[in-house]
Amino acid sequence: MSFQLLLNVVIAVTWMFLRGIWTGPSFLIGFFWGAVMLFVFRRFFPQRFYLEKVFAVIKLLLIFLVELFKANIAVIQDVLRPKLNIKPAIFAMPTKLEKDWEITTLSLLITLTPGTVVIDVSDDNSTLYIHAMNVDDIDEVIKDIQHSFEKAIMEVSR
Amino acid sequence: MTAISDLIIGIIILMGALLTVVTMIGLIRLPDTYTRSHAASKSATLGVLLILVGCLLFFWIKNGSINGQLLLGIVFVFITSPVAGHLLGRAAYYSGSPLWKGTVRDDLKEKQKKRSMSE
């Protein structure tokens, strides 16, 4: 990923040398054609075309924002209900993610989702212990998390 | 500065303030440390974020310049406050803060037991 980005910058600078124009827009044009060249030659790189990864990161950010709003609506409903009607629980959730930054990102996302806060991560990084504010069906919560967040994070790191 | 942008910015900042008030009510009403940290780590984040975004928009439209410090502040609050919620919850659990009586299930107890046995 970073190698392809570096290559793209080098191509952009080469473009500026060829044109002899040393301005920001000229760099951007070179960067665009460099991206096109890397896209054409993508099968020579061991990793995926790097812009795909950039889009995956943007998608993750959007999920982050949407979940933040949903979480707040859920908390407001729980707090302002006249009769306190919550069912807290701590449950374990297995995770397939391995790298440290992936698990950190997953915990951040879970902490910002409706009604869940990560309390602990097991020593071998295979289980997250989550405190949920309002659980009717724990398995369903786990499945939801795995489908949306784990998949989005794997998309970035693949 | 048009009336419409005035209205939108006013609504954004008011929503932020209201969310902060809801957080306060949550801190008073909810029964144990963990449920309180739910209210504190979520509503407070979005409340502060909305107020900062409102300020950013206000100075953008009024002065025509984007304030970099406000943008950085938004990003920092966004990243750090869930971590703070997590750390507070974890510290509370391992120092033995009791769960509310209505708590349905506790998977962390096993690990806690093993930990105290080995010490």
Chain B residues within an 8 Å CB radius of A68: 42, 45-46
3-state secondary structure of B78: helix
Contacts 24+ apart (CB under 8 A), A11-20: A11/A37, A11/A38
Nearest to A112 among B29, B82, B111 (CB): B82
Query: Are the C-beta atoms of residues A87 and A136 closer than 8 Å to each other?
Result: yes
Q: Could you give the ipTM of this predicted complex? A: 0.73
Query: Do A76 and B43 make contact, defined as CB atoms within 8 angstroms?
Result: yes
**Nearest-neighbour CA in chain B from A81: distance (Å):** 10
Residue A94 at interface with chain B, using a CB cutoff of 8 Å: no
What is the per-residue pLDDT for B118?
61
Instruction: Walk along chain B (119 residues) in steps of 10 and give the mean pLDDT of each run.
Output: 83 91 85 81 84 90 83 86 85 76 63 64
Helices in A41-150 by DSSP H: which ranges?
Answer: 50-80, 100-112, 138-145
Phi-psi sector, B64: left (phi>0), alpha (psi -120 to 50), beta = left
Contacts of B105 in chain A (CB under 8 A): 89-91, 135, 138
Q: Do A69 and B30 touch (CB under 8 A)?
A: no
pTM: 0.75
CB < 8 Å & 24+ apart, contacts of A63-70:
A63/A109, A63/A148, A63/A149, A63/A152, A64/A109, A64/A112, A67/A109, A67/A112, A67/A113, A67/A114, A68/A112, A68/B42, A68/B45, A68/B46, A69/B46, A70/A113, A70/A114
Rounded distance between C-alpha atoms, residue B62 and residue B80, angstroms: 30
Subunit contact A92:B34, Cβ cutoff 8 A: no
Query: Which pLDDT belongs to residue B51?
Result: 92
- Is the C-alpha dihedral spanning A147, A150, A153, A158 positive or negative? negative
Is B80 near chain A, with CB under 8 Å?
A: no
Interface of A with B in 104-143 (CB under 8 A): 107-108, 111-112, 115, 117-120, 122, 129, 131, 133, 135, 138
Query: Can you tell me the distance from the alpha carbon of B107 to that of B75, in angstroms, rounded to the nearest whole number?
Result: 33
Residue A154, Cα to own-chain centre: how many angstroms?
8
Q: A143: how many CB neighbours lie within 10 A of its CB?
A: 12
Q: Is B93 exposed, middle or buried (0-12, 13-18, 19+ CB in 10 A)?
A: buried
Q: Is B62 on the interface with A (CB under 8 A)?
A: no
CA–CA separation, B65 vs A151, rounded Å? 38
What's the rounded Cα separation, in Å, for the pair B54 and B15? Answer: 10
pLDDT, tens only, A52-84: 888 888 888 888 888 888 878 877 887 777 777
Give residue B14's pLDDT. Answer: 93
8 Å CB contact between A99 and A92: no
pLDDT tens digits, one per residue of B76-89: 888 888 888 888 88
- pLDDT per residue as tens digits for the range A8-32: 899 999 988 888 888 888 889 998 9
pLDDT given for residue A49 in this prediction: 79
Distance CA B69, CA B78 (A): 14
Q: Cα(B52)–Cα(B50) distance, rounded to whole angstroms?
A: 5
Q: Which of A:37-76 have CB within 8 Å of B? A: 68-69, 71-72, 75-76
Over the stretch A122-151, which tens digit does the pLDDT of each residue have?
Answer: 777 788 888 877 776 666 766 776 677 788
A86: which 2 tokens? 């919550």
pLDDT tens for each residue of A83-134 = 777 777 777 778 887 788 888 888 888 887 777 888 888 777 788 888 877 7
Q: Which residues pair with A92 in a beta bridge?
A: A129
Q: At what angle do helices B33-63 and A100-112 cross, to 10 degrees?
A: 90
What gap in Å lies between CA A74 and CA A85, rounded to an integer? Answer: 13
